[in-house]
Structure 1
Amino acid sequence: MTAEFFKEILTEPAIKDFGVLRLENGEIDAECLDLVMGMAQSNRILHIKRTEIPRDYYHENACKFYDISYDDARWVRIENLLTLKDSYTVSLGSNLLTQRDLNTFIKYWIDSDHDMVASLSSFKSTIAFETERLFDGIVVLKRRRQASYVVAANPTKQRKRSILTINWNDGKFRLKSWDKDQTFRLWGSFEFKSWASEYKVLMVLNKKKELERELEEIQKLLETRQDQNVVKKKNEIERELQNVSQDVDSLYLELRDGVYSYI
């Protein structure tokens, strides 16, 4: 199919204002893909299935649709994922994302000023699951009864979905964001839960991490110059850190391989 013919199809009155566009079975070149990506809108759905895409293809609008499914996602980069805003779901097939990419995404999600995506999943990932590397620099809590890893958004950001869960199974992963007070039914149970308790625990753990960072910085400052105001600030941080550490101890958690879990 030529780009000219493809453009004619996309500009047909019945198609140009599409809500859902599915491209299936075959190949598509960069020029035709550019036409599709140029029509990206936050209320449109784009699914590309069983269709080979040029490996060196790139477009800044790749993740600017509401609902996205790419069977062949080897061309999708972390830069694309960082443009997500109020999207519903992103489903990636074969892809070249790394643990560092996912670590970057989670950190970006934590400090984002807006909700990014309700669900991001990959069903053909080759990434090894190593929690210390995946969650490097991130405060993570593992749930008691399910193999879910939980992260909280920066509380200074006005976000509706302030909880991110990460599930991993045999090379397949799913990141899902939640309202912390949203209730859901536990798998295989009639019991309903929310993320409120996990959120509260994560706030305490993040506070401890922040105080430790502040204390380290102020100690370095005191190595270069002694100042009574700085010493006073250091003492205040130490007292607050002691109180928060006691709160953490009361939670009966252990830190193993970069993840907090209940003892």
Structure 2
Amino acid sequence: MLSTLALKYCHQILFDLEFLIRKEFKFKKLPTIVRMLIIQLMDPAERLHYNKATLIENTALAINKMSGVFNMDGLEMVFTKVTPSLIRLKNIFSNDTFESSWLKITLHEIVLNSEIVNIFLNMADRRKEFYIFDCDMPLDFKHENAFKFGTICYFDARWVTLSDMLNIRAVENVTLGETTLTSIEVRYFISRWINCPRDMFKSMTITAMEIIQLGGLFNKLVVLEHDMNPPNIGYFTLAKSTSRAHKLLFIDYTLNAVVLSAWKPYDNADRYGNIKEKFKNVYEIMELLEKEKTLENELEESRDVTKQREYRDQIQELERKIHELGVVYRDGRATI
């Protein structure tokens, strides 16, 4: 009974959102039943050490003991309201337990400077997540690891430049809130993303400083338009590099925001589930559209009547297959 109740409370303080605002894990403020369990798990030497250790050391000891009792995938650490000192942060992350076991760090409504942000970015790891919400970032901020977490979210991204974004590689998710990016810069970035020889990200959200105009971006691309509710417009296209694992690209934009997604050829249906069942054939459709475009170019260049007839027959067959997969043409644009 003792262990069951104690573990239930330990799980609550670690995972319940209500407890995420705690500034520190104070052993003496835990219910007696929980302290008894943790002390029971200690050997005699650890119990003696506990009375002499610092708050950070005792917290690390409690975490280590609890992780031996039930599965802990990683710590989520939230620094909110009160700005931590550099000394406190260095003490926390010089501890082996905190340095190795954290999975997600969130900074929320604290006063930031470059030194504080650098401490976190120096620990960049593509297996981990880093979020900054409702904090003003230094406008001249720079760090080589700014986009080297698996998931990165900067609500204040006015410091982010186009050059910073072009260096993103092999991450999961990127969110840029307020930026100083223009429509031209966003369009250029999307073009570079499509043509990049390596995967940059699986999902990226960008909020520009003005309404985004993508006119001209798709002139030389084969695209499949997704009929969404205005003013939302979505386009599927394929990455130009055949070496990329996530070749199927989706561009969804409205007003001054754009969401870019990259999928492996046939994993988009799994990701969306039944909600987007009609997307399950998108990669096959895109391949057929690419072949159709290639044949149309060859037909235009050919002067051989026999070849022209062959090209027309092949194009007609491709159009039939594309239609069977649910594609319609509106104003000459393939739409699903």
TM-score between the two structures when normalised by the length of structure 1 = 0.71
The Cα of 1:166 is off from its aligned counterpart by 1.6
Instruction: Tell me the secondary structure at the aligned position of residue 131 of structure 1.
Output: coil
The Cα of 1:37 is off from its aligned counterpart by 1.6
Q: Report what 1:119 is aligned to.
A: 203
The runs of 5 or more residues in structure 1 that have no matched partner are 220-233
* 1:205-245 CA-partner distances (Å, limit 9, x unpaired): 556767899999xx9xxxxxxxxxxxxxx869xx6896587
Q: Report what 2:150 is aligned to.
A: 66
The Cα of 1:16 is off from its aligned counterpart by 1.9
Q: Report what 1:38 is aligned to.
A: 122
In 1: Cα distance, 2:182 partner to 2:139 partner = 16
Is 1:156 paired with 2:239? no
The runs of 5 or more residues in structure 2 that have no matched partner are 1-83, 323-327
In 2: Cα distance, 1:213 partner to 1:32 partner = 56
The Cα of 1:74 is off from its aligned counterpart by 1.0
Q: Report what 1:223 is aligned to.
A: none
Give 1:58's aligned amino acid: K
Match of 2:104 among 12, 16, 20: 20
Match of 1:11 among 94, 97, 107: 94
In 1: Cα distance, 2:335 partner to 2:278 partner = 18
Instruction: Tell me the secondary structure at the aligned position of residue 132 of structure 1.
Output: coil
More helix by proportion, 1 or 2? 2
Is 1:47 paired with 2:150? no
C-alpha distance 115-155 of structure 1, shift in aligned 2 (>3 A): closer
The structure showing larger relative contact order (alpha-carbon pairs under 8 Å, at least 6 residues apart) is 1
The Cα of 1:5 is off from its aligned counterpart by 4.6
State percent identity of aligned pairs.
25
Contact 2:212–2:257 (CA under 8 A) maintained in structure 1: no
In 1: Cα distance, 2:121 partner to 2:148 partner = 9
Give the superposed CA RMSD. 3.7
* 1:45-78 CA-partner distances (Å, limit 9, x unpaired): 1011111111111222111100111111111223
Greater CA radius of gyration, 1 or 2? 2
Is 1:132 paired with 2:132? no
C-alpha distance 7-100 of structure 1, shift in aligned 2 (>3 A): farther
Give 1:112's aligned amino acid: C
Contact 1:204–1:247 (CA under 8 A) maintained in structure 2: no
C-alpha distance 261-194 of structure 1, shift in aligned 2 (>3 A): closer
| Greater Cα shift, 38-47 or 169-178 | 169-178
Is 1:180 paired with 2:265? yes
Matches within 5 A, 1:75-90: 75-90=159-174
Matches within 5 A, 1:152-231: 152-154=238-240, 156-159=242-245, 161-182=246-267, 183=269, 184-185=272-273, 187=275, 192-196=277-281, 198-203=282-287, 205-206=289-290
In 2: Cα distance, 1:213 partner to 1:10 partner = 59
The Cα of 1:43 is off from its aligned counterpart by 0.7
* 1:5-32 CA-partner distances (Å, limit 9, x unpaired): 5433332333222321111212211122
More strand by proportion, 1 or 2? 1
